[in-house]
Amino acid sequence: MTKKDEGIAFNLISRQKLDGLSSEEKLKFILKEVKNGKILVLEQGLTPVEQANLIEHTMKEIEQDTFIGVEMEGYCEDRPTFLQKLFGMTNRPRLTLIGPANLLKMIKKDNDMIQTKIIPGSGAK
Amino acid sequence: MGLFGKISLSSILQKIFGKKHAKIGIYGPPNVGKTTLANRILRDWTGDIMGSVSEIPHETRRAKWKKDVRLDNGNSSLTMDIVDTPGISTKVDFKDFMNTWGLSKDEAKRRAKEATEGVIESIRWLEGIDGVLLVMDSTQDPFTQVNVTILGNLEARNLPVLIAANKIDMEESSPATLKSAFPQHPVVPISALTGYNSDTLYSSMVKHFSKKRKKNRR
Of B112, B123, B144, Cβ closest to residue A55: B123
User: Is A102 domain-assigned?
Assistant: yes
Q: Which of A98-102, A110-114, B15-19, B186-190 has the lowest mean pLDDT?
A: B15-19
B85, B27 contact by CB (below 8 A)? yes
User: Is A48 domain-assigned?
Assistant: yes
User: Is B6 domain-assigned?
Assistant: no
User: Is A108 domain-assigned?
Assistant: yes
Q: How are beta strands B76-84 and B64-73 bridged, if at all? A: antiparallel
pLDDT digits (tens, 9 = 90+) for A27-61: 999 999 999 999 999 998 898 899 999 999 999 99
User: Is A30 domain-assigned?
Assistant: yes
What value does the mean pLDDT take over residues B199-210?
93
Q: What domain count does chain A have?
A: 1
Cα distance from B60 to chain A (closest Cα, Å)? 16
A82, A66 contact by CB (below 8 A)? no
Confidence of residue A110 (pLDDT cuts 50, 70, 90): confident
**Complex-level ipTM:** 0.84
Q: What percent of chain B has pLDDT over 70?
A: 88
Residue A70: strand, helix, or coil = strand
The letter for the amino acid at B4 is F
User: Is A84 domain-assigned?
Assistant: yes
Dihedral pair phi/psi, residue B28, rounded to 5°: 155, 175
B42 contacts: CB under 8 Å, gap ≥ 6: B48, B49, B50, B66, B69, B82
pLDDT score, position B1: 43
Give the total residue count for chain B: 218
User: Is A15 domain-assigned?
Assistant: yes
Q: Do A70 and B143 touch (CB under 8 A)?
A: no
Q: Measured between CB atoms, does B4 come within 8 Å of chain A? A: no
Q: Return the residue of A nearest to B93 by Cα.
A: A68
Q: Do A55 and B92 touch (CB under 8 A)?
A: no
Q: Do B90 and A69 touch (CB under 8 A)?
A: yes
Give, in order, the Cα–Cα distances in Å from A20 to each of A16, A23, A24, B37. Answer: 6, 10, 12, 44
Q: Return the residue of B nearest to A45 by Cα.
A: B149
How far is residue B132's CA from residue B129's CA, in Å, rounded to a whole number? 8
User: Is A124 domain-assigned?
Assistant: no
B105 contact residues in A (CB cutoff 8 A): none
Among B89, B41, B88, B44, residue whose Cα is nearest residue B65 = B41
User: Is A58 domain-assigned?
Assistant: yes
Angle value at C-alpha A101, between A100 and A107, nearest 5 degrees: 120
B132, B146 contact by CB (below 8 A)? no
pLDDT score, position B33: 95
Indicate if the pLDDT at residue B7 is higher than 70.
Answer: no
How far is residue B47's CA from residue B212's CA, in Å, rounded to a whole number? 29
pLDDT digits (tens, 9 = 90+) for B140-182: 988 888 998 999 899 888 899 999 999 999 999 999 998 998 9
Task: Report the predicted TM-score, pTM, of the whole model to 2 decimal places.
Answer: 0.86
How far is residue A49's CA from residue A30's CA, in Å, rounded to a whole number? 15
A49 contact residues in B (CB cutoff 8 A): 152-153, 156, 218
What value does the mean pLDDT take over residues B54-68?
91
Q: Which domain holds residue B195?
A: 19-210
pLDDT score, position B16: 53
- What's the CATH number where B82 sits? 3.40.50.300
pLDDT score, position B11: 54
Of A58, A59, A109, Cβ closest to residue B143: A109
Confidence of residue B69 (pLDDT cuts 50, 70, 90): very high
Q: Which domain holds residue A112?
A: 4-118
Q: What domain count does chain B have?
A: 1
Q: Return the residue of B nearest to A108 by Cα.
A: B141
Confidence of residue B217 (pLDDT cuts 50, 70, 90): low
